[in-house]
Structure 1
Amino acid sequence: MLTERTFKRDWCGMLKENISLSQLLTLLINFLLGSAIVVGVGGDAKKDAWIAIAAAIMIGFGIMLFYYFLISRVPGQNFFEIMEFGFKRPIAIIFSITYVVYFLYLACRVVRDFGELIASAILPSTPIEIISLTICLLMAYILYLGLEVLGRTSEIFTPYLFGFLFLLTILLFASGNANLYEIKPVLGDGLKPVLNALFPTLIVFPFGELIAFTLILPVVTNFKYCLRVSMLGVGIAGSLLLFAMFLMIVTLGADALQRSNFPMLSSAREVSIGNFIERIDALVVFIMMLGILVKGSVFMFAGLKGLEYTFRLPYRYFSLPVAMIVSSFSILISVNFGDHWQEGLEIVPYFLHLPLQFGLPSLLLITVLWKRRKKKAKPGVKGMKF
């Protein structure tokens, strides 16, 4: 049973929680790869998907700069606390509850992506409910231990991600299954497919989802270097997504790429060297699993911080119940993978991502800038009266 003294110690410990710049970098990389590398992005542009991703990276830098600028206007405060500064607490609580539902819904979608991947491609005899429950319990345990543990986990395993991706590239080209002519002709169908893939899908997924880091950036040590590290993380993750899409195109071709539910996994299954080195699915599954774990945990952490702000209790108290909710609703949000995929492409970007990633934060930024300017102007007005 928690006493008042224990509660205060937990609360103070939570306030002092922070992560290093290197941990922020690895969290950003794995977060942006996350489910994007599982299902592939920019596939609507066919052979020119890599061009769409390259353009999205440039926009991603602007999105990261926007969120950093918002957080830096009220130093030391996270997104929910800044909403209280801008709108006062009663209105901020309404918006906070909205974002809690939004972040946890995104966590459900990420877990569902992972469950579909494992259930259909790796462990077909295992119920998807068991897979979702297992990954959610793992995320709950990590977040109960704290954000620092998530940062260290990401920091430790990220070098393996680079190593496995490099090994996969070598094996694909060594097996002779990579055909560079698959990317030709460049812009054969014009710019329209590229623009269709870019707006809004590639902007809101995965780069717009960086709004979750408005809950992480304020607790980073050496905050003055935060922007540089964040930009570096976006650049590295975007380059890895670009390179992964390039590998998928030259290995599978544009037509097979569009038909595959998990194109990265399909590419890995093309490896066959001397009828000996085959079935290197484990390399790709590791990359996907690490990204899913980090991305799902970041979204769940963002939702937990919203509950912490609303109820004024340490977020660790909510970790296990929220994990159970995410596990359940990851199954209930869609009937099958086709329905899940359609919902993510046709409904979520327009009705959830755009207003909550850019609409409300833009309104909040305008309000904060206006209030800060008004606050600075007050001493001058008083001086004129004298």
Structure 2
Amino acid sequence: MIILFEIGSTPLFALGSSAKQDSWIAMLAAALFGFLLLLMFVTIQRRAPDQDIIGLLRLCFGKMAGTIIGISFAIYFAYESMRNVRDFGEISNLTLLNTTPKYITMMIILLLASYAILMGVDTLFRVTEALLPLLAISYGLLIFLISIAHLIHLDHLLPVLENGFKPVLHAAFPDMVSFPFGQTIIFFMVWHMLPEQGKVKKLSLTAYTIVSLFLILMNVINITVLGTTLAANSTLPFLQTVQLIEVGDIFERLDVLVTLLLFLGLFVKMTTFFWGAVYAFAHIFPSLRKATWLVIVGSLIFISSFFEPNYTIHVWLGLRISVKLYPLFQVVIPTLMFIVMLFRKIQTPQATSDA
């Protein structure tokens, strides 16, 4: 789930393009910082293994303050889901379904996600378990074909650190930390459900390391094939990379496969954030059933996805504005939680009743 979630919509964008040929170094730096963040997240979870993010916030900051911050987290999850719904609509309109209205595809994907959430989180995880081999084989095939098609030009990565570390650090922090690496904050809604809590740390960090290396590789491929200028200005850089594949007059025009892979990644990320928002609101306001919150949150996501007038503003808002605010949820608040748990003995309600 972590692997598919982190891949999500990430291949859509030329992340770290401001660092030019060093964008892969910026992604590496962001991934390392994200690894430390995830390590902090699982450490917090281990102190209260039966609590989700709402319960952890109440334990650290008190019921009133924890509830208020919890509501802001639920809104944040819903906002992230909305962005993926809009991405889904825009990509389908740009690639496969040019004449189909965006609101139709966006409504369908929301209904599918709602059905998955209604069936329970175990159903969603079984879907990702089935999808992972498919995505791994497909991306592996595409990378292999790009390699044998002689599209990769390693000289596009030179000179390394031409302008020093400043552009790299500027590209990595906070933008690339916020998206995609810091988004693992959503797994606070998942970890407490695992029957074997002892495996949370190992599984999470292993999966994160695998997907981080994959995303760095994808960044390198886009730069070495397209060059820094074309990759930075391309609407869908990896899609444009795959469109260049021509092997033996047999393997070509594989952009449909890329689009389907992006759809699968978007669906997993969108549904996970949607699920997190629904369950967070249901925890905060238990007087309403989860099914009711599913309808409320889903409706708000669908309506708000049309607030941005076009795709250009949607991308600008996401990659230039929103990523500056995400560290509040991904770094600042979790760090305060970690400090509180470090200097104060936290006891969960379950532990207190057992005592």
TM-score w.r.t. length of structure 2: 0.92
Matched, 1:331 2:306: yes
Instruction: Give the deviation of 1:128 after TM superposition.
Output: 1.4
**1:374 to partner: Cα distance:** 10
1:319 equivalent among 294, 298, 308: 294
Q: Residues of 2 paired with 1:210 and 1:51: CA distance?
A: 21
Which residue identity does 1:139 align to in structure 2? A
Displacement after TM superposition at 1:373 (Å): 6.8
Asked if 1:353 corresponds to 2:326, the answer is yes
Query: Partners of 2:99 and 2:16 in 1: how far apart?
Result: 31
Q: CA 1:51/1:125 → structure 2, altered by over 3 Å: closer, same or farther? A: same
Does structure 2 retain, via aligned residues, the 8 Å contact 1:143–1:316? no
- 1:365 maps to amino acid: F
Deviations 1:157-205, CA, capped at 9 Å, x for gaps: 1111111111111221222322222222222232222111111111111
Residue 180, structure 1, aligned to residue 154, structure 2 = yes
Q: For the Cα contact (< 8 Å) 2:49–2:191, is it kept in 1?
A: no
Matched pairs, number: 347
Aligned mate of 1:341, from 301, 311, 315 = 315
The amino acid of 1:367's aligned partner reads V
1:103-126: CA deviations, max 9, x gaps?
101111112122221111222212
Q: Which amino acid aligns with 1:363?
A: L
**1:144 is matched by which residue type in structure 2?**
L
Instruction: Describe the SS at the equivalent of 1:178.
Output: coil
Conserved 8 A contact 1:137-1:320: no
Asked if 2 retains the 8 angstrom alpha-carbon contact of 1:168 and 1:283, the reply is no
CA distance in 1, matches of 2:86, 2:71: 22
Q: How does 1:213-362 map to 2 (within 5 A)?
A: 213-312=187-286, 313-332=288-307, 334-350=308-324, 352-362=325-335
CA contact (8 A) 2:95 2:259 kept: no
**Higher mean C-alpha displacement, 84-93 vs 72-81:** 84-93
- In 2, distance between residues paired with 1:73 and 1:373? 7
How far residue 314 of structure 1 moved from its aligned partner, in angstroms, is 4.5
**How does the TM-score come out when normalised to structure 1?**
0.85
> Deviation digits for residues 134-160 of structure 1, max 9, x if unmatched?
111111111110111111100101111
- Per-residue CA deviations over 1:303-322 (Å, capped at 9, x if unaligned) read 11211112114534422332
- What is the match of residue 129 of structure 2? 155
Distance in 2 of aligned mates of 1:58 and 1:314: 40
Q: Secondary structure at the match of 1:235?
A: helix
Pairing partner for 2:118 from 125, 134, 144? 144
Paired residue for 2:144? 170
- 1:130 equivalent in structure 2: 104
Q: Does 1:64 align with 2:38?
A: yes
The separation in 2 between residues aligned to 1:45 and 1:115, in whole angstroms, is 29
Whole-Å separation in 1 of the counterparts to 2:103 and 2:41: 35
Check 1:193–1:93 CA distance in 2 against 1; reply closer, same or farther (3 A cut): same
* 2:14–2:232 contact (8 Å) kept in structure 1: no
Matched, 1:365 2:308: no
Given residue 153 of structure 2, which amino acid in structure 1 is its aligned partner? N
Unaligned runs of 5+ in 2: 349-355
* Structural RMSD (CA): 1.8
- Displacement of 1:132 after TM fit? 1.3
Within 5 Å, give how 1:74-85 maps onto structure 2: 74-85=48-59
Q: Does structure 2 conserve the Cα–Cα contact (< 8 Å) formed by 1:133 and 1:324?
A: no
AA aligned to 1:361 is P
Query: Residues 374 and 154 of structure 1: is their aligned pair in 2 closer, same or farther, counting only changes over 3 Å?
Result: closer
Name the CA distance, whole Å, in 2 between partners of 1:316 and 1:70.
29
Does the 8 Å contact 1:33/1:291 carry over to 2? yes
1:102 to 76, 85, 102: 76
Give the match's secondary structure for 2:305: helix
- Measure, in 2, the Cα distance between the counterparts of 1:69 and 1:373: 13
Query: Which residue is 1:211 aligned to?
Result: 185
Conservation of the 8 A alpha-carbon contact between 2:96 and 2:256: no
Q: Which runs of 5+ in 1 are unaligned?
A: 1-26, 376-386
Q: 1:339 to 1:108 in 2, by over 3 A?
A: same
Match of 1:15 in 2: none
The corresponding residue for 1:32 is 6
1:235-263 deviation line (CA, Å, top 9, x unaligned): 11101101111111121111110111111
